[in-house]
Amino acid sequence: MKLFVGLGNPGAKYARNRHNIGYMAVERIAEDHGFAPWRSKFRGQVSEGRLGGDKVVLLKPETFMNLSGESVAKAMRFYKLDPEDVTVFHDELDLAPSKLRLKSGGGHAGHNGLRSLHSHIGADYARVRLGIGHPGHKDRVAHYVLSDFAKADADWLDDLLRGISDGAPYLAAGDGAKFTNAVALRTVPPKPAAKDKTETRPAAPRPETTDTRSPLQKLVDKFR
């Protein structure tokens, strides 16, 4: 069994915030793969289903971002899971919008949701880092992440979420390469077909021939 956790803040006020892209990811997986209806459990919302041959539990902690670890720890104890069975989807300031990176273990880099997870379950869980871009200055970060995605973000955001859903069975099976490739197929525009570099060269001029006929022969040939 795998536990996929989407980080975010509960309530309609936060639903379209950049900080809630983790919620959006697991919601898309649930919708596209026919998971059970969401229900309240573990101080969060839970949906269960299957991805390929693997049973997967989706969790959206409702403790607010900085206490996310409490909800995740409760779910892990109930299902008797280890940190290696957990994958967390979260926003990433240090990645450009639409970019995604899969990582296992490591630090929390100041992310409040990850900080809480570290304190409750340790660092040995997998993370799907979802790029939202950076506002340019650290003093603007709090307002930026708690603001809604702009209308101009709609297309790349939808492509990213579709790619995550496409690749979710690979992620559940532990095949990170196929997962990231599925995302790339949605988010990276195909390269234009290479032009045929074979040049069409003009035909070489036909060599001139010397007319060796006598003037009399030329006259005869003219009136033939």
Active site residues: 19
The answer to whether 84 touches 121, Cβ cutoff 8 Å, is: no
Helices (H), the chain: 21-32, 68-79, 112-121, 141-145, 154-172, 176-187, 215-222
Express the helix, strand and coil content of the chain in percent, nearest 5 each: 45, 20, 40
Long-range pairs of 72-78 with CB within 8 A, sequence gap ≥ 24: 72/3, 72/5, 72/42, 72/117, 72/120, 72/121, 73/120, 73/121, 74/42, 74/43, 75/3, 75/41, 75/42, 75/44, 75/46, 76/3, 76/121, 78/42
Looking at residue 64, its amino acid is: F
Looking at residue 93, its amino acid is: L
Looking at residue 174, its amino acid is: G
Q: What is the DSSP letter of 57?
A: E
